Amino acid sequence: MENIKHQSVVVNGINMHVAEVGEGPAVLLLHGFPELWYSWRHQMLYLASKGYRALAPDLRGYGDSDAPPSPSSYTAFHVVGDLVALLNSLGLDKVFLVGHDWGSLIAWHLCLFRPDRIKALVNMSCVYHYFDPKNPSKKPLEEMRETFGDDYYVCRFQATGEVEEEFAGVDTAELVKAFLSNRDTRPPCIPRGGFQYFAHQNPNPLPEWLTQEDLNYYATKFKKTGFSGGFNFYRCIDLNWELSAPWREAQIQVPVKFVVGDLDLTYHIPGIQDYIHNGGFKKDVPDLQEVIVIPGAAHFINQEKADECSIHIYDFISKF
């Protein structure tokens, strides 16, 4: 870990913290919620050992990157703009791209808007169009509320101020532990005041893939920043859908490998497995070359199955 270097780069009007290690072709790794660049620590060191330059930023609103105050400043357009500006600042014409969770959603948008900057993509957990409504006459949040109810976590995160206050009343380390170690495949529905229970419903020791040092790193950063930056990504779901209308039927035109755990809650959203395995995914992503379902793996797969995911990434990008 001491070989990983850190710098702050001015991009798209904000300061973005970037961790990097290694020399060679660049691999850009994008984290999700509630995570940081640190989520890719294992893959970064592995890729560096294989002759790659691994780059993992804290996305806007997270960690040591700036957090604009307005929720509307967290659209996919803003974040893709940050990343393109980062590539420009570092003098990188094209990169390999890896995403997980919200990082996957941003990665899909980066490939959609700027396929000229991407050599190949390895995405984890969230398929293309993950948040798009099945009924095009409805906005994403409207459909989510009808399908899962107002207590669905995405809907709960819309309550600016209220959910921040609720999170502030829960021990940060316990909250992060609860998210990272969750293995419930049901849609997360948490009523008002329920995050205290959520954080303490699993009093078991840390999973073997998550050390106390790891947990302390996350907790220290989120105690400093709070969770508003992460919530704001969710608060732009409808806005992303509206602004992306010109690309509504557009396909992803880069080579793709998709990796998901069979215990990942995203894999159990109604209709997702049919979409992945029965042609819908391949229609939207015509150069989808591999789909890997890892047995026994839950949502935070790049940490839980770190070695396996590192090998999956390397095996794919080494073809190009």
Active site residue 101: yes
Active site residue 58: no
Whether 6 and 18 have beta carbons less than 8 Å apart is answered as yes
Is beta strand 26-30 parallel, antiparallel or unpaired with respect to 95-100? Answer: parallel
Spatial separation of the C-alpha atoms in residues 81 and 79, rounded to whole Å: 5
Choosing from 64, 82, 101, 264, which is the catalytic residue? 101
Choosing from 100, 109, 299, 312, which is the catalytic residue? 299
Whether 128 and 107 have beta carbons less than 8 Å apart is answered as no
Active site residue 299: yes
Choosing from 38, 62, 234, 267, which is the catalytic residue? 234
Which amino acids are annotated catalytic?
A: 101, 234, 299
